[in-house]
Amino acid sequence: MLGNFTYCNPTKLYFGKDALQGLNEELPKYGKNVMLSYGGGSIKKNGIYERIIEILKFNGKTVVEDPGVMPNPTVAKLYEGCRTVKENGIDLILAVGGGSVCDYAKAVSASAYCTEDPWEKYYLNGGKLENKTVPVGCVLTMVGTGSEMNTTAVLTNTETNWKIGHVFEEEIFPKFSILNPEFTYTLPRHQMVAGFFDVMSHILEQYFCGEDDNTSDYIMEGLLKSLIHSVAIAVKEPYNYEARSNIMWTATWALNKLVEKGKSTDWQTHMIGQAIGAYTNATHGMTLSAVTIPYLRYILPYGLAKFKRYAINVWNVTPNGKSDKEISNEGLCAMETWMKHLGLVMNLTDLGVTEDMLKRIADATLIMEGGYKILTRDEVIKILNESM
């Protein structure tokens, strides 16, 4: 049965080759002072920076530069961003980059005028947003996280090795997001495929849970098929606009809160991945790819009917004459082959994880309760061991 829910997603999207022109429509809605947040410099190399500065100047904005948002943004960077916002009376945060920059901008939006320590309030204690916020707009340059159309912001505390995501209230949705698939063309291949796998993982976290007949599961199977189809083209032809644009759109729908509606969700792979990320600072999508197959194999017996459905509907496994378990395993084998073909990291050793780190990673893994199996700490360690 579809559970009760409310659904709201106010983010306005500008999609396509001319999407950046959307800035000319959006910028006049906000005050003069714009904080331009971006990462380590890719936007300067590929020309996106100059194009945005030109539009900001054309609209009479005062630009306050906020570079250096690192992949897996840190709490220290959050504090720096909050200071910049307050010192300059920022009216709009324009985040230009991938999920890290978008997440960071949303966290700053919620934290700049917070009277308590935002890490403690939101991330450690799950506190509610009570202060004024700063509007955020995003120009996306990396596909994967869905951050452009959701309220989540993931931060890492490098002093305590905690990487935690907080789902903020509706005020934190980006006011607008600019999605030009061509802006993702300059991504290095390993980042591109890590993002592709992040999209798949988001869908699976919301698919492998519940056993009801749920419209969301049909939507997710469609998204997965589109993703698999387009990824096969994109890895051969990275400049194929049709494939890259389909993947970008799939990524947004995979995590803009729609498909989770009315059903439980898992997110255990992400919790393990975040703990790995906190200890290794590895690329997010690769922390997921390294543990996904061992995790799914482990929970398979607890969600057999869904794994069978996944194998048949998504991986085109022919069921004739096979047991449910055989069909399900064949589906996971097809997925594993696909992952290897993409060049994803398939084990933790390649991410720099050593045996002595496993218990600490398990301790830093939040245990989720919405999937087919609520894991114990020992089971997390077992899955980590199998991922080495």
Residues binding Zn ion (CB under 5 A): 198
> Is position 195 an interface residue for ligand NZQ (rule: CB under 6 A)?
yes
Give yes or no for a contact between 103 and 154, defined as CB atoms under 8 angstroms apart. yes
**Closest alpha carbon to 36 in 72, 10, 62, 73:** 62
* Interacting partner of 137 out of ligand NZQ, Zn ion, none (Cβ under 5 to 8 A depending on kind): none
Q: How many residues at the interface with ligand NZQ, by CB under 6 A?
A: 34
Q: Which of 205/330 has CB closer to ligand NZQ?
A: 205
Q: Which of 201/246 has CB closer to Zn ion?
A: 201
Report the 10 Å Cβ neighbour count for 261. 18
In the set 144, 181, 303, 371, which binds ligand NZQ (CB under 6 A)? 144
Structure tokens at 320: 């004739």
Tell me the residue type at 63: V
* Burial zone of 381 (CB within 10 Å; 0-12 exposed, 13-18 middle, 19+ buried): middle
* Interacting partner of 39 out of ligand NZQ, Zn ion, none (Cβ under 5 to 8 A depending on kind): ligand NZQ
**Closest alpha carbon to 72 in 161, 11, 193, 138:** 161
> Is position 47 an interface residue for ligand NZQ (rule: CB under 6 A)?
no
Q: What is the CA radius of gyration of the chain?
A: 21
* Burial zone of 323 (CB within 10 Å; 0-12 exposed, 13-18 middle, 19+ buried): exposed
> Is position 157 an interface residue for ligand NZQ (rule: CB under 6 A)?
no
Q: Which of 43/223 has CB closer to ligand NZQ?
A: 43
In the set 150, 180, 328, 387, which binds ligand NZQ (CB under 6 A)? 150
Q: How far is the CB of 258 from Zn ion (least distance, A)?
A: 16
List, in order, residues 6 or more apart from 293 with CB less than 8 Å away. Answer: 332, 335, 336, 339, 346
Residues from 229 through 268 that contact ligand NZQ (CB under 6 A): 255
Q: Which of 180/329 has CB closer to ligand NZQ?
A: 180
Q: How far apart are CA 216 and CA 255, in angstroms?
A: 12
Tell me the residue type at 299: I
List, in order, residues 6 or more apart from 320 with CB less than 8 Å away. Answer: none
In the set 270, 306, 308, 309, which binds ligand NZQ (CB under 6 A)? 270
In the set 84, 147, 230, 387, which binds ligand NZQ (CB under 6 A)? 147
- Which 3 state secondary structure label does DSSP give 176? strand
Q: How far is the CB of 140 from ligand NZQ (least distance, A)?
A: 8
Instruction: Kindly list the residues in this chain that would bind ligand NZQ in the complex (CB under 6 A).
Output: 39-43, 46, 71-72, 97-101, 103, 141-142, 144-147, 150, 152, 154, 165, 183-184, 186-187, 191, 195, 198, 255, 270, 284
